[in-house]
Amino acid sequence: MAKCPVCNGLERLECECEGCREPVAMDDLGPVDNYYGPYSPYEEFSDELTSKRENEPCMHLCRCPECGAEQTVTVQGSD
């Protein structure tokens, strides 16, 4: 996976709620990968798996503070 500017604190995630259809600042709940298992954020990836994921974008889960709707947002990484 390319380096995600949101995960690395270089950018703030900006997204609008698809449920409210209003320009509401949604809460970034982190990368979707973190929700695959109890220790997912802490697992190390093998070099083979990492090289396959380098060109993939980082998917973040967002939640609307107004209506509670959740949606995924694609974040393009940088090399």
Residues of the domain holding 38: 1-79
Least confident of 22-31, 37-46, 54-63: 37-46
Looking at this protein, which amino acid is placed at residue 60? Answer: H
For the chain, what is the domain count? 1
Give the three-class secondary structure for 56.
Answer: coil
Residue 56 — very low, low, confident or very high, per pLDDT cuts 50/70/90? confident
The whole-number average pLDDT for the span 12-28 is 83
Kindly state the average pLDDT of the residues 11-24. 82
Q: Which residues contact 75 (CB under 8 A, 6 or more apart)?
A: 4, 5, 6, 7, 13, 57, 58, 59, 60
Per-residue confidence at 22, pLDDT binned at 50, 70, 90?
A: confident
Exposure string over 16-25, b if 16+ CB within 10 A, otherwise e: bbeeeeeebe
d(CA 53, CA 58): 10
Q: Could you say which DSSP state residue 38 is in?
A: T
The mean pLDDT of the chain is 78
Identify the band that residue 43 occupies on the pLDDT scale cut at 50, 70 and 90: low
